[in-house]
A and B are shown apart, each in its own frame.
Chain A
Amino acid sequence: QSVLTQPPSVSGAPGQRVTISCTGSSSNIGAGYDVHWYQQLPGTAPKLLIYGNSNRPSGVPDRFSGSKSGTSASLAITGLQAEDEADYYCQSYDSSLSDLEVFGGGTKLTVL
């Protein structure tokens, strides 16, 4: 059971827009801590996709965007492409007695 909750899977056709949610609580996202997103292609290490809720590292296409509101955050991907098929993870900091760094359980994106 992950501290941050993500849907196990989402799917979309090429060119479409998909969103992936990440739901936390008052001790992590709701406490104002930043949310970060990672993309993990099959057999590779996770790659930072979005940091600080909505910022893209250099080289990440602007088709990827992030937002945060209350105790939740979202990753949106527009103009879906075949190479976007991957696992996506959200991550934040938690100030409760549990984990300090917490990850979502991951969402498998399938491009139809």
Chain B
Amino acid sequence: QVQLQESGPGLVKPSETLSLTCTVSGYSISSGYYWGWIRQPPGKGLEWIGSIYHSGSTYYNPSLKSRVTISVDTSKNQFSLKLSSVTAADTAVYYCSETVTLFDAFDIWGQGTMVTVSS
């Protein structure tokens, strides 16, 4: 059974870079699928940040594209998110998830990790 687990700092200073990692268990990332990041500001809805294919092809939300980098480390069976120049508006619960194709549902989700941007 595939499981996802986010990890990373819970507090980031304004203008710095937010870095999170999602560790996948029960499935080898190199076997396929798209691996994505979705966030949810407190009291608000879901926002797709971006996705990466196991081969490394990336797809980003245009509104965040200039600040986002998603990468995959098949040796560790992990994929990562970096969001630069953060502001308070980037405060959110960050989820990692998986889709078979870009047209399919996010069928497995991590539990989420809260990241607060504050000095």
Interface residues of A (CB under 8 A from B): 2, 33-34, 36, 38, 44-48, 51-52, 57, 89, 91, 93, 97-106
Task: Give chain B interface residues in 77-119, CB to chain A under 8 Å.
Answer: 95, 102-107, 109-112
**Interchain nearest-CB distance for B10 vs A (Å):** 16
- Residue among A51, A101, A102 with the highest chain B CB neighbour number at 10 A: A101
Chain A residue nearest in CB terms to B47: A103
Which residues in B have some Cβ–Cβ distance to A below 8 Å? 36, 45-48, 51, 59, 61-63, 95, 102-107, 109-112
Whether A106 contacts B95 by the Cβ 8 Å rule is no
List of A residues within 8 angstroms of B45 by Cβ: 2, 89, 103-106
Instruction: Flag if A101 contacts B109 (CB, 8 Å).
Output: no
Tell me if A51 and B95 are in contact (CB < 8 A). Answer: no
Nearest Cβ in chain B — how far from A97, in angstroms? 7
Min CB distance A59 to B, Å, is 12
In whole angstroms, what is the CA distance A97 to B45 when docked?
21
Partner of A99, one of B62, B95, B105: B62
CB distance from B104 to the nearest CB of A (A): 7
Selected contact of A100 from candidates B46, B48, B107, CB within 8 Å: B48
Give Cα A48–Cα B38 distance, bound, in whole angstroms.
14
Q: Taking A100-B61, A100-B102 as contacts, is the C-beta distance between A48 and B107 under 8 angstroms?
A: yes
With A99-B62, A100-B61: A57-B95 Cβ-Cβ less than 8 Å: no
Given contacts A46-B106, A91-B105, A99-B63, 17 further A-B contacts (CB under 8 A): A33-B103, A45-B109, A45-B110, A47-B109, A48-B106, A52-B104, A89-B45, A89-B46, A93-B102, A98-B62, A100-B59, A100-B61, A100-B102, A101-B61, A102-B48, A103-B45, A106-B46
Task: Give CA–CA (A47, B112) in the complex, Å.
Answer: 12
Give every chain A residue within 8 A of B95 (Cβ-Cβ). Answer: 45-46
A98 to chain B minimum Cβ distance, whole angstroms, is: 6
Among B45, B61, B95, which residue has the most Cβ atoms of chain A within 10 A?
Answer: B45
Q: Can you list 24 pairs linking A and B with CB atoms under 8 Å apart? A: A33-B103, A34-B105, A38-B106, A45-B95, A45-B110, A45-B111, A45-B112, A46-B46, A48-B105, A48-B107, A51-B107, A52-B105, A89-B46, A91-B105, A93-B102, A97-B62, A98-B62, A99-B48, A99-B62, A100-B61, A101-B48, A101-B61, A101-B102, A104-B45
